[in-house]
Structure 1
Amino acid sequence: MRSLRVDAVLVQAVIAGSLSFAHLHDLAAAAGQSGWKAWAYPISVDLLLVAAWRKLRSLRPSGEPVRAAWFWFATALAASLGANVATAGLLDLDHVPDWLSILVAGWPALAFLGGTLLVHSPSPAPERQEAPAPDVSEASNLQRAPEPEPVPDAVEATEPVPALPAAQPTPAPALPAVPAALVTHARKVADDHHARTGHRIDTDTLRVRLGVPAQLADAIAAHLT
């Protein structure tokens, strides 16, 4: 069984609503509305407040005018706040002024008018998502059948086929000229390598030791052979 958790906001809302309900009842009773009539006034004020708030929330996303909804929301809020303030000791409930009795007596007609206008006002129609128009060019391309490629005429067997020219060998790239001083230095490096390892120096090692490009290392190696 799930444990019940007390919500502080809900408890606060119940307490505030009960106090406001009682204040509206006391004011209506002081204004001459006795019995069940006095209990109906708080319900009427709260229902108009909720209806106006729901109408505001439904009109805002669509960008519809909300002035009428705001007017009835402010009217119901003023009636609720007015009852709370009037019963806080600022008004003698035993001697209610005539204008307040007139307002309390006329409230049912005003609340009925506001609720009717809120309920029967046109609601925003849902936006229709129009399907994109088909691309005429793409439709015509799909309907158009591809044209067959022309088939070349068969070559007659008696027609001699010309022989293709023999491929010419690609000439080897010319080696760059190497200065004599660089050759002398490379020979010393090669001799030192042979003395230490007992093997002739290869082109890659010579290129790394001298720090020269690969093509220039090939040319130097050609001078050392």
Structure 2
Amino acid sequence: MIRERAESGVRVLILLVVGTMAGAAAFTHVHDLTVAHGQPDWIGWANAVAVELMAIYLGLEIRARRRTGCPVGLVGVLLIAFALLSLAAQVAEAEPSVWGWIVAAVPSLAFLALVKVVLSSEPATPPASEPDQPQGDWYDEPQPVEPAPPTPVMPPASAAVLPPVGVVQHNRPQVVGIIR
């Protein structure tokens, strides 16, 4: 139990560190690319926030929809689009060489890998609830119950008018279907 909690804590810590670093790099690249193409500084930050937080939100939305059984197709396409937009901004800001592009793509690729791992993991399911009775009680022999003394039962008023179930009266037409 302690080992599992420690591993879970380390996983969350790694997720936060990589996510923060990838987010910082991606925010910076989207911001710088926006400003380099003539937009004011505040719009550069607005674009960075929009692109990066949409990717995070869409990942969370996919997970929520999977839990409820809702379709995730459009949300998945949007997640890929925003991730590619972030990746494109990072590559565009890189030194124009193969290694420059690869190194610039690392934050987005790391983020995408983490999103894929987190979204593909099954959510924790609570353990099945324990029955109210101990297991031994369920398999005991049934105890005999003494029958109650017979009581006179009056037939319902409709029984005097209708024939018993299963009796066909040949002088009456049979109705099949639903009577409204």
Q: TM-score, normalised by structure 1?
A: 0.37
Pick 1 or 2: higher relative contact order, CA cutoff 8 A, min separation 6: 2
Q: TM-score, normalised by structure 2?
A: 0.45
Structure index of larger Rg: 1
